Amino acid sequence: MTDRQPPREIVLEACARYGEDAVIDFAIAVLTGAVSPEEAFTTEVDKLKWLVGPTVGGWSKLDPVNFYWARVWAARLFLYVWRDDAVDALLIAAEDPAWRVREHVARITAQRELGQLVDALLPGLSHELPRVRSATARAVGAAGEAEHAEALQELLDDPDNTVRAAAEKALDRLETRLDRSLR
């Protein structure tokens, strides 16, 4: 592994080397708090490299305020590999205090069409950051139900153009998926 590999390659290489179940188990442990972010950066740093690559070992004086990155990387893993029991960990991560973790949960929800996560993500539609609102809108469009359309419609007047565009596309996708008009 090199420090210049894309995250997908790092994760897939770790799965090939250590076993997909071991890598997923570690990511779930980080997301659920069974392995704290501090432990991930100290006693579990070799496993943390499975999620981010060898550069993580070079952070000898990491500020504890940045420990949340372990949860971000653990969530990101599920963009590349999957196991159904990850949904429970992602439900916990949907309420993570770090917005980057919640954004990744929204991305995974959209990619994998995980309807069981949509309600937990809805607060992200009013997040202060446009990228979180956009990611959440995409998740709702990909995995939501008719009752979620009104929340997306409210974003059509969002002050940020990228959020408005994401909401429009999400409504289109929702209508296509459900085969009905929702406006």
* Contact present, 25 and 95 (Cβ < 8 Å): no
Q: Where along the chain do its domains lie? A: 1-93, 102-183
| Other C-beta atoms lying within 10 Å of the C-beta of residue 60 | 5
CA distances from 8 to 14, 18, 174 (A): 10, 15, 28
Q: What is the pLDDT along the chain (183 residues), one digit of tens a residue?
A: 444 789 999 999 999 999 999 999 999 999 999 999 999 988 998 999 999 988 776 655 667 888 899 999 999 999 999 999 999 999 999 999 999 999 999 999 999 999 999 999 999 999 999 999 999 999 999 999 999 999 999 999 999 999 999 999 999 999 999 999 998
CATH T-level fold of 102-183: Leucine-rich Repeat Variant (1.25.10)
Phi-psi region of 52 (alpha: psi -120 to 50; beta: other; left: phi over 0): alpha
Please state, in angstroms and rounded to a whole number, the distance separating the CA atoms of residues 160 and 36. 35
The type of residue at 145 is E
Among 30, 102, 80, 31, which Cα is nearest to 41's?
30
Among 182, 91, 104, 83, which Cα is nearest to 141's?
182
pTM for the structure as a whole: 0.93
